[in-house]
Amino acid sequence: MIKVRIPTPLRPLTKGQGEVESAAANIVDMIGSLDATYPGLKNRLCDEKGDLRRFVNIYVNEEDIRFLNGKETSLKDGDEVSIVPAIAGG
Amino acid sequence: MEFTEQQIQRYSRHIILNEVGGKGQVKLSKAKVLLIGAGGLGSPAALYLAAAGIGTIGLVDGDVVDLSNLQRQILHTTATIGAPKVESGRRMLSAINPDITIKTYQLNVDTENILGLVSDYDIVLDGSDNFTTRFLVNDACFFAKKTLISASMFRFEGQLTSIKPHAGYPCYRCLYPEPPPAGLVPNCQEAGVLGVLAGTMGILQASEAIKEILGIGETIADKLVIYDALEMKFRKVSRPKDPRCPLCSATPTIKDLGGDYSVACTI
């Protein structure tokens, strides 16, 4: 299984959970399957074309998927995925 | 420059550290640090920078102290409610360390004034509360080649990084190319924040600023630090330079501060 870290702003969609699990083989499938369980998540992460929004980053372990294989970045058992949106509070 | 006996006593716990010493303390006393925002993050950062003997601290904030600020903005007190934050801040910082110079700017930064402000300082700390200011400060520091220590927070979560593209590291736009449109990400202080989280993140900013001035330790310029107060967990993720960055790549699309920086503030 893959652990997916949900950031504070998106936790209302995951019933408050900060960590959920996924068995997806890549990021695009992971977003799809999470959206099936937690409707609305995909819309917060991706634009109308399905591309990752430019103020949201997704990391596989410590690496930003924009610098790996983007949405097609593959996942394997034991990976930790972090969703990290820009925040502005000060 | 020579320290007085009193100053040597004041900074003695720094001076006995090999990594600081008398020379390091002189560096701190010659340093000029600008704080964008004298609020949640700026308050704890300013207090420790003043205590550390940073020679010149600039405070930029257009707001006045409000009762609802005092849950986290420890530069201000019940007695200074209604006063400009920069004046309230000046009083507090002078009381902690009368030897330092405090410059105040009671204004909101904009495309007209930001370059002039940052150019007078060595290091800038961003503790602002909106995306418009964060992108503007990043871009201005890029053009002025100033190191920017950026922190932000939301509810129970904080982010921290150092930004110094002039030293080959990524800029804020390498991390987040564009601000979110209105309504998608909460970006106003009204969204709620654990008061003490401001302390944690602001003090980390001060710590990174002091490290930059002294030239010691590891930089976080190629990392993003994410702190979750509820889990009591710090995570670091990599923050590479974006070869397609609109600002700091070889082929930039942003060449000055003439663009539109406005982002509507919607929760």
Domain ranges of chain A: 2-85
Q: What mean pLDDT comes out for the span B36-56?
A: 98
**CATH number of the domain enclosing B234:** 3.40.50.720
Q: How many Cβ atoms are within 10 Å of B23's Cβ, its own excluded? A: 9
Give percent above pLDDT 70 in chain B: 95
> Among B130, B131, B235, whose Cβ lies nearest the Cβ of A82?
B235
ipTM above 0.90? yes
Number of structural domains (chain B) is 1
Cβ contacts of B152 on chain A, cutoff 8 Å: 86-90
B252 against B266, higher pLDDT: B252
DSSP code, position A39: T
CB contact under 8 A, A88 and B236: no
Rounded to 10 degrees, what is the CA torsion of B112, B100, B35, B165? 90
**Per-residue pLDDT tens over the stretch A38-79:** 999 999 999 999 999 999 999 999 999 999 999 999 999 999
Contacts of B106 (CB under 8 A, 6+ apart): B61, B62, B84, B85, B86, B87
> Among A9, A63, A88, whose Cβ lies nearest the Cβ of B238?
A63
In this prediction, residue B1 carries a pLDDT of: 73
CA nearest to B84, candidates B97, B94, B69, B72? B69
In this prediction, residue B37 carries a pLDDT of: 98
Contact B139, B95 (CB under 8 A): no
Reply yes or no on domain A2-85 having CATH 3.10.20.30. yes
Within-domain flag for B24: no
What DSSP letter does each residue of B79-144 carry, written as one string? GGTTSBHHHHHHHHHHHH-TTSEEEEE-S---TTTHHHHHHT-SEEEE--SSHHHHHHHHHHHHHH
CA nearest to A7, candidates B174, B178, B159? B159
Q: What is the mean pLDDT of chain B?
A: 94
Q: Identify from B69, B184, B225 which residue to disrupt to test chain A contact, counting A C-beta atoms within 10 A and taking the largest count.
A: B184
Specify the range with the lowest mean pLDDT, choosing from A8-17, A77-86, B239-248: A8-17
Within-domain flag for B250: no
Confidence class for position B181, pLDDT limits 50, 70, 90: confident
Cβ contacts of A67 on chain B, cutoff 8 Å: 238, 240, 242
Specify the range with the lowest mean pLDDT, choosing from B15-19, B73-77, B94-98, B175-179: B175-179
Confidence class for position B178, pLDDT limits 50, 70, 90: confident
- pTM summary value: 0.95
Q: Containing domain of residue B47, as a range?
A: 31-238
